């Protein structure tokens, strides 16, 4: 019955969408909390909606459906491709089933700081990746790479993790991405793929010992209630991919498309700004430090982890992905190295 009702809801959405699309309405689906002050994804969509509606004088409007109202993140991708909805923000995990090469972004311990991520995804590599996604899928246009909340940290209920040997025997929840499992196993942990909706109960019951996510996610999910230790590994940065249906996009006027691009750029900026604010507030690291033991890695500790994880990840890409993925990984590494070497004051 639940499946039937969901199918009817999607069918109704399709019918409504056909009418709305003709009137210039962008139905925008995502899987996050619908509060622009609490969630980077919704901050992004709120800013996008405001600019599009205002600067087109209402010829294009945006209707945002958060919290999985129209399906899962992976379903949103298919709905955008089919024209059921017009836009979405999709995680690397959700996009991987449609575009496996997105996995190259999971190079562990790549970035030295947030500024480097901005330079890479707003620069030549971001353009190369967007073009490749568009070429492979054919029916979407990529408008940018918003922030999901920042760098990943690792939490667990066993003991503090500061060195490679501390991972030994810790069962860490990962997404179903093989690369995430490879990374955790290379560090000495036991990788345990688990659906997001089961993570809290899994931590609570001891099915898993820990998990990895950006700090805002750890805070919002109340993981401090069932975890004792958190390590600021900063080992992964996984942005959203902001995509819009190509047919809808090409049906807009030149001025409307220009406004959509401006709005998308501001959407990306909003996601980054809110992520940094949350990290520094009582909803982020500052608040978590009162509830959970926090460990920051030294440069040597982080280098040792990178030395174990990066070769394993690169071997995974070489053995399991196509030639183009390996080319993208080489481009990614080059752009990351350049961004890491640059100084804000240069």
DSSP of 28-47: EE-SS-S-TTT-HHHHHHHH
Residue 64: half-sphere exposure toward Cβ, Cα within 13 Å: 22
Three-class SS state of 331: helix
Three-class SS state of 336: helix
| Average pLDDT of span 66-76 | 94
Helical spans, DSSP H, in the chain: 2-22, 40-55, 73-82, 92-95, 114-122, 124-137, 178-186, 199-205, 215-220, 246-250, 254-280, 285-288, 299-320, 323-341
- Nearest of 230, 177, 178 to residue 203 by alpha carbon: 230
pLDDT > 70: percent of the chain: 92
**Higher confidence at residue 170 or residue 18?**
170
**Confidence at residue 215, expressed as pLDDT on a 0 to 100 scale:** 93
**Confidence at residue 1, expressed as pLDDT on a 0 to 100 scale:** 45
* Helix 299-320, helix 323-341: angle, nearest 10: 160
| Average pLDDT of span 133-161 | 98
Q: How confident is the model at residue 176 (pLDDT cuts 50, 70, 90)?
A: confident
**Confidence at residue 197, expressed as pLDDT on a 0 to 100 scale:** 83
Tell me: pLDDT of 14 over 60. no
Domains along the sequence of the chain with CATH: 2-148+238-280 (3.40.190.170), 152-237+284-341 (3.40.190.170)
Say which residues have a Cβ less than 8 Å from residue 144's Cβ, sequence separation at least 6: 121, 122, 126, 242, 264, 265, 267, 268
Query: Do residues 156 and 290 touch, judged by C-beta distance below 8 A?
Result: no
| Average pLDDT of span 253-263 | 98
**Confidence at residue 22, expressed as pLDDT on a 0 to 100 scale:** 46
**Higher confidence at residue 344 or residue 260?**
260
List, for residues 311-324, the tens digit of each pLDDT value. 999 999 999 999 99
| Average pLDDT of span 257-279 | 97
Buried/exposed 270-292: b ≥16 CB within 10 Å, e otherwise: bbbebbbebbeeebbbebbeeeb
**Confidence at residue 9, expressed as pLDDT on a 0 to 100 scale:** 45
Average pLDDT for the chain: 92
**Confidence at residue 303, expressed as pLDDT on a 0 to 100 scale:** 97
**Confidence at residue 196, expressed as pLDDT on a 0 to 100 scale:** 83
Query: Do residues 85 and 28 touch, judged by C-beta distance below 8 A?
Result: yes
Q: How far is CA 100 from CA 163, 170, 201, 270, in A?
A: 31, 28, 29, 27
- Nearest of 167, 125, 160 to residue 145 by alpha carbon: 125
């Amino acid at each position: 019955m639940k499946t039937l009702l969901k199918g009817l809801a999607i069918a109704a959405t399709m019918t409504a969408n056909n009418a709305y699309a003709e009137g210039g309405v962008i139905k925008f689906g995502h899987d996050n909390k619908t509060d622009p002050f609490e969630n980077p994804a919704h901050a992004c969509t709120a800013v996008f909606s405001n600019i599009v509606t205002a600067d087109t004088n209402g010829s294009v409007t945006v209707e945002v459906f958060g919290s999985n109202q129209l399906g899962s993140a992976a379903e949103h991708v298919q709905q955008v491709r089919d024209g059921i909805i017009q836009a979405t923000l999709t995680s690397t995990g959700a996009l991987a089933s449609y575009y496996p090469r997105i996995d190259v972004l999971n190079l562990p311990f790549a970035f030295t700081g947030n500024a480097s991520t901005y330079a890479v995804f707003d620069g030549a590599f971001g353009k190369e990746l967007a073009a490749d996604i568009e070429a492979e899928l054919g029916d979407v246009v990529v408008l940018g790479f918003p922030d999901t909340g920042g760098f990943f940290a690792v939490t667990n209920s066993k003991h503090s993790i500061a060195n490679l040997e501390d991972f030994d025997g810790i069962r860490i929840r990962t997404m179903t991405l093989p690369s995430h499992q490879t990374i955790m196993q290379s560090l000495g942990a036991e990788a345990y793929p688990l659906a997001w909706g089961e993570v809290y109960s899994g931590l609570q019951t001891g099915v898993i010992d820990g998990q990895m996510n950006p700090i805002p996610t750890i805070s919002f999910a109340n993981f401090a209630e069932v975890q004792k230790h958190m390590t600021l590994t900063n080992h992964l940065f996984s942005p959203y991919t902001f995509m819009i249906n190509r047919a809808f996009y090409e049906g807009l006027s030149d001025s409307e498309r220009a406004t959509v691009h401006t709005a998308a750029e501001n959407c990306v900026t909003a996601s980054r700004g809110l992520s940094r604010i949350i990290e520094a507030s009582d909803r982020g690291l500052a608040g978590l430090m009162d509830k959970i033991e926090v460990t920051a890695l030294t440069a040597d500790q982080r280098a040792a982890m990178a030395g174990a994880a990066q070769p394993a990840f690169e071997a995974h890409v070489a053995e399991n992905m196509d030639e183009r993925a390996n080319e993208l990984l080489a481009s990614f590494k080059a752009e990351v190295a350049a961004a890491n070497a640059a100084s804000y004051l240069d």
